[in-house]
Amino acid sequence: MKGTDFHSMTDEELKTKLGELKTELFNLRFRHASGQLENPMSIVTCKRNIARVNTVIRERELKAKA
């Protein structure tokens, strides 16, 4: 997903998406360790999406304080 997709989500949707992404990352790591992961770049993509969600959440926190 792109950053603009995350900006259009509400706070609750972002928190839900963050939970989903963390679960997905756990499953990807587990499959990688067992040798069943076909595309190792999917781990990197998932980590970047988690970072994007965290960035949007933090931007909104800072905007609310200002």
> Domains in the chain: how many in total?
1
Per-residue model confidence (pLDDT) at position 5: 87
Report percent pLDDT > 70 for the chain: 100
Whether 66 shows a pLDDT value over 90: the answer reads no
**Cβ atoms of residues 60 and 8 within 8 Å:** no
Residue 39 belongs to what domain range? 3-65
Residues 6+ apart with CB under 8 A from 32: 40, 43
pLDDT band, very low/low/confident/very high, at 64 (cuts 50, 70, 90): very high
DSSP designation for 35: T
| Cα dihedral 31, 33, 39, 41 in deg (nearest 10) | 120
pLDDT tens column, 6-47: 999 999 999 999 999 999 999 999 999 999 999 999 999 999
Q: CATH number, domain at 12? A: 1.10.287.310
**The pLDDT value given to residue 19:** 98
